[in-house]
Chain A
Amino acid sequence: MPNEQTSVPLFVANTVLTASQQNLSAGTGVPVFATTVTRDAAFGGSNKALAEGQLCYLSSTNVVQYYDGAAWATVGPATAGGLTLITAQTIGTAVSSVTVTGVFSSTYDNYKIVISGGTASVNDENCGMILGSTTTGYYAGYIGAVYSGSATSGIGSNNASSWTRVAGLMTNGLNGNFELNGPNLAKRTFITGFHVQDTVARSYGGYVDNTTQYTAFTITPASGTLTGGTIRVYGYSNS
């Protein structure tokens, strides 16, 4: 969006006020940010202009927020519900991985991620996921039932380089439905979810063994590529 900004100017004596700065101010009324991450970055650092009563607009979720002196809150009832769509990332054509950035922040402790639509070049339930750039310390248990017969299938993942089975990838559709607890908290991040494959359906849970505060994640099929579909990320209201 043309009105989005990434900084909050702090003018002091003899500072030049440019036309573009004045136009931005006149054109927006309240500062416009792409996401909660760019908002927090703009109000941080030496330009600590954030104070109670500050307003902002988030283009990712189309909401107006105010700062109450301790945290950002959304104006009006639009997001008063428990679940807020943070982003809907369309998957490109023949991509071997999809990274979604700027989705985890201090605004929410817990998140829901849903993958739907689209196609995979091959059927594969081995769809990996990492947080940020972390490629170690992923633990998980995946338990499922194979459609043909009554066999159960349990798979353990011990200090792996990713969570290895977060979504089902099929040539006629992608599916993933999982939740993350605390990816932006300075604690372990936990994952619980489900996926459906052409031959098996699984539920799973796990964690990553560090206290990194993440803002992004990457989905990577173990084989083949993805085309189309959407990765939607929702935040659970903290209160």
Chain B
Amino acid sequence: MTYAEAVAMYPHDSVFIQVDDVVRPMTPAEYEEFIQRQVNAEPHD
């Protein structure tokens, strides 16, 4: 998945971080790390 594809698939306002019962938006740094994770994801068996 390219960077642009990841951003298109997961807009910043559509993904969240959860701690116990609290679900919050991602900070810009968290979102960037999330998008990079999608770009670097490897197919599994």
User: Chain A interface: which size bin?
Assistant: 20 to 34
Contact for B45 among A98, A99, A199, CB less than 8 A: A199
- Nearest CB of A to B18, in Å: 4
Q: Which residues of A contact B1 (CB under 8 A)?
A: 223
Is the CB of A3 closer than 8 A to any CB of chain B? no
User: Chain B interface: which size bin?
Assistant: 20 to 34
Instruction: Determine the distance from Cα of A93 to Cα of B23 in the docked complex, in whole angstroms.
Output: 8
Q: Is the CB of B17 within 8 A of A94?
A: no
Q: Is the CB of B44 within 8 A of A197?
A: yes
Interface 0/1 of B17-45, CB less than 8 Å to A: 11111010010001000100110011011
Chain B residue with Cβ nearest A218? B19
Instruction: Determine the distance from Cα of A222 to Cα of B34 in the docked complex, in whole angstroms.
Output: 9
Instruction: Determine the distance from Cα of A100 to Cα of B18 in the docked complex, in whole angstroms.
Output: 9
Is the CB of A144 closer than 8 A to any CB of chain B? yes
Question: Which A residues contact B (CB, under 8 angstroms)?
Answer: 89-102, 124-126, 144, 146, 153, 197, 199-200, 222-225
8 A–B contacts from the bound complex (CB under 8 Å): A89-B20, A94-B16, A99-B18, A102-B20, A126-B42, A144-B45, A222-B37, A223-B37
Question: Which B residues contact A (CB, under 8 angstroms)?
Answer: 1, 10, 14-21, 23, 26, 30, 34, 37-38, 41-42, 44-45
